[in-house]
Amino acid sequence: MKQRVFITGVGLISFLGDSPALFHKKLCDGNKGMGRVTEFEEQGFASQPGGKVEAFLPEVFLKSKALRPLDRSGRLLASAAKLTLENSNWTSQDLAVRDVGLVLGTMFGSMHTISQFDRQALGGGPSCASPLDFANTVINSAAGQTAIWHKLRGINSTIATGATSGLMAIGYATDLIQSGRQTAVLAGGTDEFCFEAFCGLARAGLLCGPDSTAGCSVPFEKRRTGIALAEASALLMLESAESAQTRGAVILGEVLGHSNAYNPRWKQAAHEADAVIRSMRGALEDARLSPQEVDCISAAANGSIPGDRNEALAIKAVFNGHGEKVLITAIKSMIGETLGAGGALQAIDLLETMRDHAVPGIAHLKNVEPEFASLNFCRKPEFIDTRIGLINAVGFDGHACSLLLSGPPAWGNLV
Amino acid sequence: MDVEVIRTKIKQTISRVTGIDVESIADAASYETDLGLDSLSILEISVEVESQFKFHASDEEMSSLRTVEDAVNLVRKRLGAEVA
Amino acid sequence: MTTFPAVAVTGIGIVTSIGTGRESFWNAILAGHCGFGPVKSFDTRLYDVHIGAEVSDFCPQDYFEDADPATMGRTSQLAIAASRLALRDGSLNLAGIDRNHVGVCVGTTSGEPQYIEKFDDHYMEGRLDRVGREFVNGYPSHLVPFHIAKELELGGEAMMIPTACAAGNYAIAHACDLLRSGKADAMLAGGADSFSRITYTGFARLGAIAPTLCQPFDRNRKGMIPGEGAAMLLLEPTHKAAARGANIYCEIAGYGLSCDAHHMTAAHPEGEGAARAMRLALQQSGIRPEDVNYISAHGTGTPTNDRLETIAVKKAFGEHAYKVPISSVKSMLGHTMGAASAIEAAVCALAITDGRIPPTMHWQDRDSECDLDYVPNTAREHKVRVAMNNAYAFGGNNSSLILTAYSRP
């Protein structure tokens, strides 16, 4: 019999700060907190939206000067973990007697450190390469560092499926709890903003470019030109009913079901929306829900020309009729595409929506393609009774993941 | 190069790698016992010292560095430094 | 703990420095062949060590029916080769199955390192203009399972678990979970890594690479030898495998995963995390320590790993540790990184089927702290009913997989 999986805490580092409630409020206010990437103009990359969370000071969260062993990814993840543990009232005494797991979703992992390490060796010979940096050249290094920092001795895993990694990590962690292998797991993702990722995505034609055009990186916008690559780190604390009850934890929500699919032929007309369709249908089946029971959708849409269209077509197909009613938001309109952190950020915002019933509008959305104009896009914040929400993650390469959440169950009804 | 300068630069390197304040690093401090460093940090310090003073230590020399003073002495030997 | 439907290993595909294909590989392993030689992938002139275990004479075209191997990195090529070999070995007719229920799960340490290495070369030469779309379309590690799924036309879950040197076990464990929960009807699971100058530089920097030989558990062991390779297992629920008359090598009874939360590159000094993973695996499988009659060690050949691994085995098995043979095929293949534990899982499956266990080669002098039976130098006839496959990774990731003999009811 599958265990139920509850969310008892959240933590995030983002352009819109590190408070879940303020993060949600700023999204509802249409606050486009993203910075701009200006530092690569010399390399021929025009200034455009996105970039690092410049305000991030790891010392504030990790309260230590001995941070050299951690690279930026490790610092981002360990900081988000600190916030999540605090938010879920998980103390160091608890951690001394319980094994909490950690599942990290990331697209690029420690790519920047890998590249730096390699360039040190290329520049000055292998004897110049830093041993501390080498420890961080494994793709799972942020997860390892975070486990060391916070004494997380449960199952520690890293999931890489591209831009869908974070939501996949939450699904993987959900399965660990459902099957009884773990009773408490931190799950979500991180991808640090770095030149290598920016350059790579730019050369692949995926970035929005300078935002002189009206559409730029606005999700579903007819004149969108691509994504704004941004940085964030976000985690959820997932627990079994027994673990949550024993600790007297506050329940923020419940994971009802999840699924994912891959279609390598997604660029062909007959296959374009297939992975997203199967992903959403699979999640609904896993949760034993019908499309009519979904109150709102937190879309993956990020300004990607094919990606947003495929997702919209998929919503039309899966929700068939109800698609015109279910409210669709897309928070990447304000926080950009944060890769590994995306899924958890969407979950955190959705949980806030469950609390205050406010769904953020898709900032700057004006016109959508006629093909999916009938969908109910949330353009300005709306207040609706949200009990069940669907989150999508869509990759750049034919992969999709979907997850269904509900708000907190009625008190006393956890089993 | 003056031995005090060498010592200060080495302590600054240790501080950069470990976060320990320069003032808290005694001249005779042992990496493992006094500063509580692990093997990776000790190796990192040695690599940064090599890079800063521009010499390549042998594996034997690297593994013999156990204290701040060991590092100072190795640098002096390699630079042919005079005692202040 | 809930009990789960059993998972069977029905196909093995393997590409290594000593042999490609199940039969060739197994014969070479039992004969003690070694894959060590001077590194050819890049220039090691500036290094103090020059030895590696690369796969020579690998022809990716032999395993591709759809894609052009030149459009992807070497790790994907090795992984596709191993996957196709596993499918053929398992005689799974994909025409009769819903392909959306057949998935791929791969483990790796470096993903496709050649792409980032080339990026860095361009960077250092001031020629970033040479970086094209191939970088993001080739480098990220998740592309390895995606390439496999595309080449074999599989529509189920495709996932990369890049948990470094324990990744193969993690991938196999996740695949088993998907099969048990009914989310997949068949899975290809394993690990792959191609030779990486970054990895080589790092281990050389740590002084962890042995000059000529990998000698796990030997008193004079000097370190590990980086290598490359791939192994993929075809896994199915046992009842489905039996129903289609598949050849079943063995079953996977369970696994244990734990995290030291202690140090990035050094194991817990008392082998705590590793022992815990072994105990969890035994518990999950419903198997007693004294029922285990072969252990495939992580056995990298570094002074520290082999000593701490021995401590951990003794912690988990007590006195029985002295009765169960434990060997390390890294003595022949070197450390194939993310592929290692998948290759070693295949070794366990073959040992169970064949009734022989591989040796730990180059073992000459007993180390007082490594005093177990490491099957020194010669393969041995040994009836294996329960095998344990151990693997440990940077970040303190510990893993143990339990494989058991299958008896047709």
- Cα distance from B38 to chain A (closest Cα, Å)? 11
C302 φ, ψ to 5°?
-85, 150
Interchain pair C140, A107: CB under 8 A: yes
Cα distances from A256 to residues A105, A253, A414, C236, in angstroms, run 20, 9, 13, 27
Confidence of residue B82 (pLDDT cuts 50, 70, 90): very low
- Give yes or no for residue C3 having a pLDDT over 60: no
User: What digits encode the pLDDT tens for the residues C207-224?
Assistant: 999 999 999 999 999 999
Q: Provide, as residue numbers in chain A, all residues whose Cβ is less than 8 Å from the Cβ of C163.
A: 140, 156-158
Residue C238 pLDDT exceeds 70: yes
Answer yes or no: do B19 and A64 touch at CB < 8 A.
yes
**What is the structure's pLDDT at A31?**
83
Which of A113, A127, A141 would best serve as a mutation to test chain B binding (most B beta carbons within 10 A)? Answer: A127
Residue A84 lies in a domain: yes
**CB contacts, 8 Å: C396 with chain A:** 144, 147-148, 156
What is the tens place of the pLDDT at every residue in A316-369? 999 987 767 899 999 999 999 999 999 999 999 999 999 999 999 999 999 999
- Residue A270: per-residue pLDDT: 85
Residue B38: active-site member:
yes
Residues in chain B closer than 8 A to A132 (CB atoms): 17, 40-41, 44
Rounded distance between C-alpha atoms, residue A10 and residue B36, angstroms: 34
Those chains having 3 or more beta-carbon pairs within 8 angstroms of chain C are A, B
Judge if C70 and C204 occupy the same domain.
Answer: yes
- Which domains can be identified in chain B, with CATH numbers? 3-79 (1.10.1200.10)
- The pLDDT of residue A412 is above 60: no
Last residue of a domain, one of C243, C269, C295: C243
Assigned domain for C409 exists: no
Q: What band does A303 get if pLDDT is binned at 50, 70 and 90?
A: very high
Same-domain pairing of C188 and C49 = yes
Domain for residue A413, yes or no? no
Whether C101 has a pLDDT exceeding 60, the answer reads yes
Is C1 part of a structural domain of the chain? no
Q: Which of A253, A274, A302 is the last residue of a domain?
A: A253
The predicted structure's pLDDT at residue A415: 59
pLDDT at A216: 80
CA dihedral (A69, A74, A80, A84) positive or negative:
negative
C117 shares its domain with C75: yes
One-letter amino acid of C90: G
Contact C263 B59 (CB under 8 A): no
Q: How distant is the Cα of B44 from the closest Cα of chain C, in angstroms?
A: 10
Residue A82 has pLDDT above 80, yes or no: yes
pTM over 0.90: yes
Instruction: Determine the distance in angstroms separating the CA of B30 from the nearest CA of chain C, rounded to an integer.
Output: 20
SS3 labels along chain C = CCCCCCEEEEEEEEEECCEECHHHHHHHHHCCCCCCEECCCCCCCCCCCCEEECCCCCCHHHHCCCCCHHHCCHHHHHHHHHHHHHHHHHCCCHHHCCHHHEEEEEECCCCCHHHHHHHHHHHHCCCHHHCCCCCCCCCCCCHHHHHHHHHHCCCCCEEEECCHHHHHHHHHHHHHHHHHCCCCCEEEEEEEECCCHHHHHHHHHCCCECCCCCCCCECCCCCECEECEEEEEEEEEHHHHHHCCCCCCEEEEEEEEEECCCCCCCCCCCCHHHHHHHHHHHHHHCCCHHHCCEEECCCCCCHHHHHHHHHHHHHHHHHHHHCCCEECCHHHHCECHHHHHHHHHHHHHHHHHHCEECCECCCCCEECCECCCCCECCCEECCCCEEEEEEEECCCEEEEEEEECCCCC
Per-residue pLDDT, A214: 53
Q: Residue A24 belongs to what domain range? A: 5-253
What pLDDT is attached to residue A323? Answer: 63
Residues A237 and A295 grouped into a single domain: no
- pLDDT tens-digit series, residues C157-202: 999 999 999 999 999 999 999 999 999 999 999 999 999 999 999 9
A332 interfacial to chain C (CB closer than 8 Å): no
Say what the pLDDT of residue B60 is: 81
Say if residue A245 is in the same domain as residue A343.
no
Domain coverage including residue C126? 8-243
In a domain, residue C281? The reply is yes
Q: Same domain, yes or no, for C233 and C289?
A: no
- Average pLDDT, integer, range C247-259: 97
Of C136, C156, C177, the CB nearest to A204: C136
Find the CATH number of the domain harbouring C358. Answer: 3.40.47.10
Both A177 and A278 in a single domain?
Answer: no
B39 to C207: CB separation less than 8 angstroms, yes or no:
no
Region A370-382: mean pLDDT is 95
Q: What is the pLDDT of residue A413?
A: 60
Answer with the one of C182, C214, C243 that is the final residue of a domain.
Answer: C243
> Considering the domain boundaries, does residue C46 fall inside one?
yes
- For residue A362, give the CATH number of its domain: 3.40.47.10
**Closest chain C CA to residue A181:** C1
Residue A414 in domain: no
For residues A246 and A303, state if they share a domain: no
Residues of C with catalytic annotation? 165, 298, 335
Q: What is the pLDDT of residues A175-205, one digit of tens each?
A: 999 999 999 999 999 999 999 999 999 999 9
Interval A260-292: pLDDT, tens: 999 988 888 889 999 999 999 999 999 999 999
Rounded to an integer, the average pLDDT of A396-406 is 96
Chain A interface includes B62 (CB < 8 A): no
Residues from A contacting B (CB-CB < 8 Å) are: 64-69, 124, 127-132, 135
- Do C222 and C272 lie in one domain? The reply is no
- C162 and C16, same structural domain? yes
Mean model confidence pLDDT for chain C: 96
Put simply, the answer to whether B40 touches A69 (Cβ < 8 Å) is yes
Same domain, residue pair A201 and A278: no
Instruction: Work out the minimum CA distance from C72 to partner chain A, whole angstroms.
Output: 14
Same domain, yes or no: A297 and A265: yes
**Residues A261, A247 share a domain:** no
Provide mean pLDDT across the span C291-313.
97
Q: Are C291 and C236 members of one domain?
A: no
Among C residues 47-66, those touching chain B with beta carbons less than 8 Å apart: 48
pLDDT of residue A143: 97
Query: Quick one: pLDDT at residue B54?
Result: 85
C236 and C258 belong to one structural domain: no
- The reply to whether C153 and C293 lie within a common domain is no
Nearest to C394 among A144, A153, A201 (CB): A144
User: How far off is chain C from B14, nearest CA to CA, in Å?
Assistant: 18
Q: C28: distance to nearest CA of chain A, Å? A: 30
Mean pLDDT along residues A311-319? 95
Question: Per-residue pLDDT for C147 more than 90?
Answer: yes
> Comparing A194-203, A320-329, B39-48, C254-263, which segment has the lowest mean pLDDT?
A320-329
Which of C2, C198, C395 is the closest to A141 by Cβ? C395
Whether residue C154 sits in one domain with residue C223? yes
* Domain endpoint, select from C243, C261, C280: C243
A233, A262: one domain? no
Counting the structural domains of chain C, the total is: 2
Of C207, C265, C266, nearest to B59 by CB-CB distance is C207
**pLDDT at position C5:** 80
Q: Do the domain assignments include residue A412?
A: no
Looking at beta carbons, which residues of chain C come within 8 Å of B37? none
The pLDDT confidence band at residue C295, using thresholds 50, 70 and 90, is very high
What pLDDT is attached to residue C169? 98
Q: What is the pLDDT of residues C377-386, one digit of tens each?
A: 999 999 999 9
A194 plus A129 within the same structural domain: yes
Whether residues C138 and C263 fall in one domain: no
Mutate to test the interface with C, among A102, A112, A114, A394 (most CBs of C within 10 A): A114
Residue A328 lies in a domain: yes
- Show residues of chain C in contact with A148, CB under 8 Å: 261-264, 396
Please name the residue of chain B whose CA is at the shortest distance from the CA of residue C48. Answer: B59
Query: In B, which residues are within 8 Å of C207 by CB distance?
Result: 59, 62-63
A128 belongs to a structural domain = yes
Q: Tell me: the pLDDT tens digits for A200-244?
A: 999 999 999 987 555 589 999 999 999 999 999 999 999 999 999
**Between A and B, how many residue pairs show a Cβ–Cβ distance under 8 A?**
35
Interface of A with C in 100-159 (CB under 8 A): 101-102, 107-109, 111, 114-115, 117-119, 121-123, 125-127, 129-131, 134-141, 143-145, 147-148, 150-159
* Domain identity same for A127 and A208: yes
Please state the rounded mean pLDDT for residues B48-69: 86
The answer to whether residue C333 sits within a structural domain is yes
Q: Is residue C3 part of a domain?
A: no
Measure in Å the smallest separation between the Cα of A65 and chain B Cα atoms. 4
Could you report the per-residue pLDDT of C343-388, keeping only the tens digit for each? Answer: 999 999 999 999 999 999 999 999 999 999 999 999 999 999 999 9
Q: Are residues A149 and A270 in the same domain?
A: no
Whether residue C273 sits in one domain with residue C208:
no
Q: How many domains does chain A have?
A: 2
Please indicate if any CB of chain C lies within 8 Å of the CB of B38: yes
Cross-chain residue pair B39–C266, CB shorter than 8 Å: yes
Sequence-separated (6 or more) residues with CB below 8 Å from residue A307 = A300, A301, A394, A396
**Closest-CA residue of chain B to A131:** B44
> Is residue A411 domain-resident?
no
